[in-house]
Amino acid sequence: MISLEQVEAMIKAELPDAIVKVNDLQGGDHLEAIVVSSQFEDKTLVKQHQMVYKAVQAKMATEEIHALALKTYTPQAWEKANQVA
């Protein structure tokens, strides 16, 4: 089974400046990733998610990760989200 640290490392390899937190939602193969990166600036949410999925594509293809729910933020959006919370 893939470790949460492994998934974090794969995302960071694609987006080196990113702050990444991966959580297990269910049984170790349904995961959630929260990713904050300046590389998301000026990109649509879909483009942001595509960037993260690209990083973990190999593990999704083999079903080691069955599902990955994404929450992506630019640093500014992240700050704003946390002020509200």
Partner 1 sequence: MTPEVQEKIDNLVNQNKVFVFMKGNKLMPQCGFSNNVVQILNTYGVPFETFDVLEDEEIRQGIKEYSNWPTIPQVYIDGEFVGGSDVMIELYQNGELKQMLEVALAS
Footprint on this chain of partner 1 (rule: CB under 8 A) = 45-46, 49-51, 53-54, 57, 60-61, 67-68
DSSP string of 60-73, one letter each residue? HHTTSS-EEEEEEE
Distance, first Cα to last Cα, the chain = 33
| Pick 46 or 84: Cβ nearer partner 1 | 46
Q: Which is nearer to partner 1, 18 or 68 (CB)?
A: 68
Can you read off the two tokens belonging to residue 2? 């893939």
In the complex, minimum distance from the CB of residue 72 to partner 1, in angstroms, rounded to a whole number: 13
| Distance of closest approach, residue 77 Cβ to partner 1, in angstroms | 16
Shortest Å distance, C-beta 46 to partner 1? 5
Token digits for 36?
């904050």
Name residue, tokens 């990713």.
Answer: 35
